[in-house]
Amino acid sequence: MSYELTLSAQTLRAVPFGTRVGAAVEAGFQGLGLSVEQYKDALEAGWTDRRMTDLLDARGLRVTEIELLTAWGGGAGRRAREDDALAERLVALFRPERVHATVFAARPLDDLAAGFAGVCRKAAASGARAALEFLPYAGIRTIGAAWEVVAAAGETNGGVLVDCWHWARSGATAADLAPVPAERIIAVQLADALRTPLRDPRYEARHHRLLPGEGGGHVAGMLDTLRAHGVRASLAAEVVSDMLDVQDPRLTARQVHRACVGVLEEADFPGRPVDGARTHAPVPTTGDQAPTGPLSAVPYGRPRMPGAL
């Protein structure tokens, strides 16, 4: 079976916009994640909104996820509020399937519920869903806590984002998943975890994830659990790795896509099947297209780190 997959923002996170688009398409991805930081970088490199959307249309690629809203829970600084405002504008511009949200510090449930309800309503205005991400080292640490916020918010387009790495490091089980309605799992992000956790989980999450199926996160087992629960969610690859960052982005995209398909097939996970390979229109040369030649290791520098992972 083939799967519709999104290349999340934090895979090829430091690669210029045009190069990411080309690498994603050539590897077989149908969707692209975009962060506020990546959008800012594209503008600084001379891209305009029209050029970006024209390139996406020409390559048959869609921005399916925007991230990351972090100020909605209250108590955030000016920069976080400005980034949230920009992310909301990107949702209106690209009209993705979903926008991702989380918080870094613990907040009262009432504040989180009210704030997330606002995120949902703004997303709904552009036809998007709002996906709340739990991170085991931040303000919402478990899938149960995330669902509590989503349920209290009371908006039908709100749901939970399940990231394989966060699932593994939070120690989530089928029992933790049981209270969450299957249809409220909006998306699943694929990656694997080191067999021996590092002392700093946030650092590990941002620098040392592995390709799905190559670590100790039991990704196929997690997918089995989700499938048994009835989850039929959008699928994305979020392999945040310093090792992969220094490779040719086309090689990384292909490795990531192949690994994701491998674990999905192993788990017999239902996706949105696509028929065969698509033919893409040629794209005029831009200043940051993927390099030509063999797929050798090409350093792309150290990425600017976004909010949460």
125-179 pLDDT, tens per residue? 999 999 999 999 999 999 999 999 999 999 999 999 999 999 999 999 999 999 9
What mean pLDDT is reported for the chain?
90
pLDDT at 246 over 50: yes
The token pair that represents 234 in the structure block: 């959008």
Task: Compute the average pLDDT of residues 210-214.
Answer: 98
Give the per-residue pLDDT at 2.
80
Percent of the chain predicted with pLDDT > 70: 87
The token pair that represents 57 in the structure block: 């249309």
**What is the DSSP secondary-structure string of 210-268?**
B-TTSSSS-HHHHHHHHHHHT---EEEE---BHHHHTS-HHHHHHHHHHHHHHHHHHTT
245, 13 contact by CB (below 8 A): yes
Please give the DSSP secondary-structure letter assigned to residue 279.
P
Written as one letter, the residue type at 247 is Q
pLDDT band at 100; cut points 50, 70, 90: very high
pTM: 0.89
pLDDT at 237 over 90: yes
Q: Which of 239, 247, 250, 253 is nearest to 289 (CA)?
A: 250
SS3 11: coil
Apex CA 249: angle with CA 29 and CA 129, to 5°?
40
Give tens-digit pLDDT for 249-297: 999 999 999 999 999 999 999 865 433 333 333 444 444 554 444 444 4
264, 234 contact by CB (below 8 A): no
Give the per-residue pLDDT at 225.
97
Report how far residue 288's alpha carbon sits from residue 95's, in angstroms, rounded to the nearest whole number: 24
Which residues pair with residue 132 across a beta bridge?
A: 101, 160
Please give the DSSP secondary-structure letter assigned to residue 19.
H
